[in-house]
Amino acid sequence: MGNKMCVNICVLGSSSSGNCTALWSQKLGILIDCGGSIKRWEGHLKSIELNYGKIRGILITHGHCDHINENTINFAQKNSIPIYIHEHTYNTIKNRYNLKDNLIRDGLIKIHTNREFRIDYLKITPFKIYHDDIGHEDYVGSPCGFSVYFENKKISYITDTKEITYDMIQEVLDSDAIVLETNHDLEIIERNPPNHFGWCEHLSNQKAGTALVEMIIRSTKSNSFKYVFLAHVSDDNNTPERPKIVVEKILHKNGINHVILIETYKCNRTSIYTI
C-alpha cells in the first residue's frame, strides 16, 4: 500500500506579503502557513480542487502576518480546520488578536513544542529555525520548519530563517521535496544595499544553494530533493530569475543534476506537482 501513496504539492503563493502551501493525498491534506490574503488562497484552493473538508490542519511556521493573521483564524474557524502552532508563537498572536482560551479547548488551536505529532496518518516533525524580530515587539514567537511524512513520502518546509544549521539539515534528510527560502541575492545586496535590515533574517540564494547541496549529499535515499520550490523571494533584493540561476549553478558545480527547481510567485500558484 505504502508504495502507491501519491502526494500533491502546490505553493499557492509565497512572498513577504503572504504564504500558503498545500500538501494533499487522495484522502487528506494540510496547509502550511496561511497569511496575507485569504481570499487569494481560497481562489487557488478552488482552482486546485482541494475541498476544505479534506484539509485536516494548518501548520504555522511563526507569527509574522504573512504567515498567520486574524483572517487565518476566521478561515480556520469557519471551516473547522485546526491550526497547529508552537506555544510561544500562539502566545504572541493571542495577545495581538485578543484570542480567547476556548479556541484551545474547542480544538481549533493545537499547541506543539517542536515535538513530533500526528494528524491522522501523517507524521509531522517541527524543528527550530532562526528568524528574529527586528525592532521591539515580539511577533515571531518560536519559528519552526516542518517535515511532513505521508507514509513513505517526506516533504519539508523551510522559509524565514537567516541560516540553515547542521541540526536543520539532519531534520530534512531524505526528503522527496522541499519548499526552501531563496529570499535575497548577496550580489544584489552588495551592489545595492537596502536601507533596512529585514533581509538579514532571511535566507539568500547562495546560502540556500549551499545548504541544499549538504542536504542531498548527506541523504541516503536516491533522488532525494528531486522537487525544490524556491520560496519567499524578495521584490527588492532579488529578481524572479536569480534564485533558480544561482541554486542551479551551485548544484551543478557539485555534480548534482537530478533536481527540478521550481519558481514560486507572490500572487499566482505553482503547478501541482505529484510525487
Residues that bind Zn ion (CB under 5 A): 64, 66, 160
Closest to Zn ion by CB, 133 vs 263, is: 133
Q: Closest-CB residue for Zn ion?
A: 64
Please report how close the Cβ of residue 17 comes to Zn ion at its closest, in angstroms. 9
Q: How far is the CB of 231 from Zn ion (least distance, A)?
A: 9
Give 66 or 176: the residue with its C-beta nearer to Zn ion: 66
Query: Cell 504564504 sits at which residue?
Result: 19
Neighbours of 159 (CB within 10 A): 29
Least separation in angstroms between CB 209 and Zn ion:
20
Nearer to Zn ion, 159 or 224 (CB): 159
Q: Among residues 2 and 135, whose Cβ is nearest to Zn ion?
A: 135
Closest distance to Zn ion from the beta carbon of 54 (Å): 26
| Residue number, 83 or 216, with CB nearest to Zn ion | 83
- State the residue for C-alpha cell 482541494: 50
- Provide the minimum distance between the beta carbon of 129 and Zn ion in the complex, in angstroms, as a whole number: 10
Residue closer to Zn ion (CB basis): 130 or 273: 130
| Residue 164 Cβ vs Zn ion, minimum distance, rounded to whole Å | 15
